[in-house]
């Protein structure tokens, strides 16, 4: 089983009255671990059924398999339909390349750094 670590950090004050979390994924998301590990993120979605903002910090993500792309698409659908927002930060070029080919970057904004991602979430929410 390959190693992957998912840590979830709470950014309570970024957008007032809304839950904002940074999901940090490091390692390799593959067939051996994706089903189990992704449940952490789904748990957060369940706990915050409305207006959840997720920032995926993918700096440490070396590899993601097709299933994890499927999960990401599904999470995007669930969160945005419930009024939330999903952005990606610090993804490596190969991961970004895959997401671009798959078409996910047309849906999910990707940023070079975490601050830009945070301000994107804060700005759009504030202006809403």
Partner 1 sequence: MFENTNIYSLGLSVFFAAIPAIIWLFVLFNKEETSRKTVLLIFFLGCLTPPALLLIQEGWQAFPQFNLASFIENTVHEQNLEYILIFILFGAMEEIIKLYVIASVDKHTLLIKKIGDAIRYSLAAALGFAFAENIYYLYQFWGSIGLGELTGMYIFRSIFTTCAHMIFSGIFGYYYGIGKFSIDITEQSKWTGKLDVITRLIATMFNMPISQAFKQKMVLKGLFTAVSLHAIYNFLLQYNYVPPIIIFVILGYLYLQYLLSRKAGHLILITDISNKTKSTIAKKDEDVVIELLGMWFNEKRYVDVIHICERLLERDPDNNVIKLFKAEATDKMDDSNVYKKILNNVFKSNEDLNSDDKSLIDKYTSHKDHLNKIKIFSAPPPQPSTNKKPVNTSPETKKDEKTKDSYNLNF
Footprint of partner 1 on this chain (CB under 8 A)?
Answer: 50-51, 63-67, 69-70, 73-74, 76-77, 80-81, 83, 85, 94, 97-98, 100-104, 106-107, 109, 124-125, 127-128
Half-sphere exposure of 23 (CA within 13 A, CB side): 24
Identify which of residues 43 and 50 has a Cβ nearer to partner 1 in the complex: 50
Q: How many CB atoms lie within 10 A of CB 13?
A: 8
Structure tokens at 107: 């849906």
Tell me the C-alpha distance between 6 and 27, whole Å: 9
CB of 116 to partner 1, least distance (A): 15
Q: Which is nearer to partner 1, 7 or 116 (CB)?
A: 116
Nearer to partner 1, 1 or 128 (CB): 128
Q: Taking the complex as a whole, how short is the minimal distance between the CB of residue 34 and partner 1, in angstroms? A: 12
Please state whether 69 falls in left (phi above 0), alpha (psi between -120 and 50) or beta. alpha
């Amino acid at each position: 089983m390959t190693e992957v670590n998912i840590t979830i950090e709470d950014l309570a004050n970024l957008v007032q009255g809304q839950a904002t979390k940074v999901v940090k994924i490091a390692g390799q998301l593959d067939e051996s671990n994706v089903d189990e590990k992704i449940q952490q993120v789904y748990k957060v979605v369940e706990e915050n059924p409305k207006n959840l903002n997720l920032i995926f910090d993918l700096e440490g993500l070396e590899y993601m398999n097709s299933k994890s792309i499927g999960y990401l698409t599904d999470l995007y659908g669930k969160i945005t339909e419930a009024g939330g927002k999903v952005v990606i930060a610090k993804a490596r070029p190969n991961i970004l390349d895959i997401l671009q080919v798959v078409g996910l970057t047309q849906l999910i904004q990707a940023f070079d750094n975490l601050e830009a991602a945070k301000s994107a979430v804060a700005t759009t929410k504030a202006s809403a």
